Structure 1
């Protein structure tokens, strides 16, 4: 049941069924302290749980593909990478409709639905790996179903943003995002251990292990979360955002940060196995990349608050270029320690960049309009758009790896392409947000954390 609170006298009023909250004023300090904070924190906790499992399922194939050969499935390098590309693609496409699902169905109902949908790819994976005659197309379909987990990010972020006041959204959304991203690290840490239980390799355990947690997350969302009636669709803000050049500039930059994070996360275990066969036992350490990248995301927001988002973002892309150069050298001299260390550096920087780019968006749009409320709504819309496009960046990363390994049997062409791309991101960040004449034209940008 939902609680309706009078800001003048924080006593409970009439209640409405379905755990819908009709009265929600997080910007009112009295309301926030008496009622809002507790309710918002509760919804954040269960949102993180559901989103974490969403990322877990989304990236499940990234670690499963490494062991498919051990259970009798012989797929080419190209086929293997398509199994990594498809969930990225589906997850990216779903992020836009998932954003609008919260206003339509309510945060509680949609979190319940989206969490429950994660059972579908888990069941499909069990069916696929337990039958040695399973055709490749069914594995592709299973990978596509895993994309359900990729859409969870947008709906979860949209839902939580309605619960918190502006001054506390940054931390709440940072925790929500980092908690979700950690799902990638969890799956890459846990699955190699779980599938080795018993005799031989039991890939079905990779899916069966997570299913009870998904059921718990689904039940918690239904029984403990709430929906806000004020979370209404805002098509006008999306239309304005779509016509603003900064929407597409920031989406491009987010391809470079989140696209790198999720693309590298999916590919890292396979790249270790394919590029350094003698070190394939280190595949079990691939989780460190996603773990460190997730933990560093809030740090990127904190640095941006202190030094400005554009400055941190530009330095991030410079660092990504240096890390990519380290990978090129490691491939040339066949140094696994340099390869592994360079990749860990890329994950750290991608995580920082995720935080700094998301910090830039509201600051940029605050300078675009005298109507602060409209600016905030447009910024929220851009977060959804950039999130979808950034996830598509993971598709591009794995496509580049696929063509590089198929065409030249080495990662060098892919890494060279990434190096050029990061150079473009450096130039874009400087051109739009750090040139002196930009600050002269829009002075507030220099002081808004951009």
Structure 2
């Protein structure tokens, strides 16, 4: 049975609060929990989707910025790097805002905050605007990156462990699709009105932002059991697996968001594509990468997140090798095949790495002797606290990609050196995943007959 109240909550909080929530209880889940969780997931996806579109706004705004703007490719890369950086940093406070204010309440606030960068870009987007002003507005769009962290933390609490891979994958994938959608919308504007009308795109998003806030207000819920827990945050910071998973998430999500922001500029700068030609290609990779993210979560649910993640990094290294070869030979078709493969693989890896997080902390709880709801509550508590840190560090990987691209193009006019750097990084990610989550000691003793084996982190 689910108890909901609209009366003031303890501490003066008000709104739609669900007082009891136990998704691991099968009867509770079938009776009402699944229906409520799915409804919250739907509107969380919508809000996060708009947030991703606004966060990636400058990946398409730079396509509108022709010679009249007087900004070189390095300057444009720095604009999108600024948006990436701020979006990564705000993920930390956004994660903890869910426990402080409630998932539904914070979704409303975070959606309304998107009005500021969109309206600001609408005002300044024209030739003659100082570069510093563009930088400030690009930094504002970072609030859209924070929506991912609060949304994932919120949805993580709604679903049982056996469903988290699917739910988190769908939530994140639906949000990630905001990147190709804004790129498709930019293609529509450039193809119909021309590259001189970026304000048409910006104006179209204002009512969508308001709609996201209204639907969250009317259709989502707060979970009272999700409390502010400074102890969980401190424990997550001290936990080595938080930082190991953050490093691996740099390789998956950092690649996805970094490549999404940079793809159009790479095509323009390295292969001489026009804004319309670049816009007609940039959405393909992010779209496919977003669509397969739930597949990555589902595969992790079935085969284990660590196995899928290792396979992803091996394949990403191979795809990067293809991109390097295509870059050296200046072959656009081969380059596109390799680059789109990187998007697809990073999308699968995004789903599998996020599935690993709750599994790791659940396994640690069982290894400490906890069981039942105590173990599930410990897993939710620590995984929720760690997700903000992992998401923030992972998004900083996108900043790293943009800065490496900026330096490569500034030094040589080509992105080849950047891709060689990424290839080396994926090799390190392979080694870490195998060493920490898949390697089993050769002389590990077998459990005694009849004894319950303690869960291993290699099962995540």
Same fold per TM (> 0.5)? yes
Q: Kindly indicate whether the alpha-carbon contact (under 8 Å) linking 2:74 and 2:410 is maintained by their aligned counterparts in 1.
A: yes
Q: What is the aligned counterpart of 2:53 among 50, 56, 67?
A: 56
Please say which of residues 97-106 and 26-35 is displaced more in the overlay. Answer: 26-35
Q: Counterparts of 2:5 and 2:152 in 1: how far apart (Å)?
A: 29
How far residue 150 of structure 1 moved from its aligned partner, in angstroms, is 0.1
Q: What is the aligned counterpart of 1:351 among 339, 347, 351?
A: 347
Q: Counterparts of 1:25 and 1:190 in 2: how far apart (Å)?
A: 41
CA spacing shift, 1:52–1:441, aligned 2, 3 Å: farther
* Structure 1 unmatched runs, 5+: 1-6
The TM-score with structure 1 as length reference comes to 0.92
**In the comparison of the two structures, how many residue pairs are matched?**
439
Which residue number corresponds to residue 388 of structure 1? 392
Alignment of 1:378-417 (within 5 A): 378-417=382-421
4+ aligned runs moved over 6 Å, structure 1: none
Q: What is the aligned counterpart of 1:436 among 437, 440, 443?
A: 440
CA spacing shift, 1:439–1:287, aligned 2, 3 Å: farther
How far residue 76 of structure 1 moved from its aligned partner, in angstroms, is 1.4
Q: Kindly indicate whether the alpha-carbon contact (under 8 Å) linking 2:258 and 2:397 is maintained by their aligned counterparts in 1.
A: yes
CA displacement, residues 51-80 of structure 1 (integer Å, 9 cap, x when unaligned): 00000000011011012116x212012210
How far residue 437 of structure 1 moved from its aligned partner, in angstroms, is 1.0
Q: Counterparts of 1:52 and 1:109 in 2: how far apart (Å)?
A: 17
Q: Kindly indicate whether the alpha-carbon contact (under 8 Å) linking 2:54 and 2:141 is maintained by their aligned counterparts in 1.
A: yes
Please say which of residues 44-53 and 61-70 is displaced more in the overlay. Answer: 61-70
Please say which of residues 222-231 and 21-30 is displaced more in the overlay. Answer: 21-30
The TM-score with structure 2 as length reference comes to 0.90
Q: Counterparts of 1:375 and 1:178 in 2: how far apart (Å)?
A: 23
CA spacing shift, 1:321–1:156, aligned 2, 3 Å: same
Which residue number corresponds to residue 428 of structure 2? 424
Which residue number corresponds to residue 28 of structure 2? 31
Which residue number corresponds to residue 141 of structure 2? 146
How far residue 346 of structure 1 moved from its aligned partner, in angstroms, is 0.4
How far residue 161 of structure 1 moved from its aligned partner, in angstroms, is 2.1
Q: Counterparts of 2:56 and 2:382 in 1: how far apart (Å)?
A: 30
Q: What is the aligned counterpart of 1:170 among 162, 165, 178?
A: 165
Q: Kindly indicate whether the alpha-carbon contact (under 8 Å) linking 2:360 and 2:457 is maintained by their aligned counterparts in 1.
A: no
Which residue number corresponds to residue 16 of structure 1? 7
How far residue 104 of structure 1 moved from its aligned partner, in angstroms, is 1.2
Q: Secondary structure of 2:292's match?
A: helix
Which residue number corresponds to residue 95 of structure 2? 99
* Structure 2 unmatched runs, 5+: 9-14, 447-452
How far residue 340 of structure 1 moved from its aligned partner, in angstroms, is 0.6
